[in-house]
Structure formats: structure tokens, C-alpha cells
Amino acid sequence: MQIQLSHPARTVEVKGPKKVKDLLRELNLVVEAHLVIKGDDLVTEDEMLYDGDQIEIRPVISGG
């Protein structure tokens, strides 16, 4: 599946199926600092992601 990341903007390919929390762990990303969006929908950490899914991992932290 294609994973879209930000800061800097890039796309990485990850083999599915995989749970959201495992994907974040694999990419060394902290749950509290990110949202995972499948297509147009927000998904929880126990959601299973499959090859072919369009995934965006969006950082939520700003300089504030």
C-alpha cells in the first residue's frame, strides 16, 4: 500500500495487511502525534490496512 507522509512530503510503499498501530511502529511514528486517514476516513489504531489502500499519515504537531 502507498503511504503519504508529510514534513517533508513523500510517499513510501509498505506491504499489507497491517494494523494501523503496527504501521506507525514500523515507521517509528508516535500515535499521539499523528492521524491515519484511509481514503477520506479517519481510522483507529486497530484498523487493518490492505495492499491497494490509499493511506495518509498526517502529523498534528505545530510550532504554536
Partner 1 sequence: MNCTKCKTKAVIGLPRHNAAFCKNCFNGFVHDQVARAIKSEWMFGKEDRILVAVSGGKDSLALWDILLKLGYRADALYVNLGIGAYSEQSHAKVTKFAEAVAASHGAMLHLHTVEQEAGAGIKELAQLIHRPTCSTCGTIKRYQFNRVAIEQQYDVMATGHNLDDEAARLLGNVLHWQEEYLDKQSPSLPASVEGFAKKVKPLYRLSERELAAYAVLNRIDYIVEECPMAKGSKMLQYKEVLNRLETESPGTKQTFYWGFLDKQSKKQPTATTMAEKDRAVLHPCTSCSQPTTAEVCSYCKMMARAGTAKS
Enumerate binding residues for partner 1 (CB under 8 A).
6-7, 30-35, 37, 41-47, 58-64
Q: Which is nearer to partner 1, 16 or 38 (CB)?
A: 38
For partner 1, which is the closer residue by CB, 12 or 35?
Answer: 35
Residue 37 phi, psi (nearest 5): -120, 120
Gyration radius of the chain's alpha carbons: 11
Q: What is the 8-class DSSP label of residue 1?
A: -
- Min separation Cβ 41 and partner 1, Å: 7
The set of cell numbers assigned to 37 is: 486517514
In angstroms, what is the minimal distance from the CB of 46 to partner 1? Answer: 5
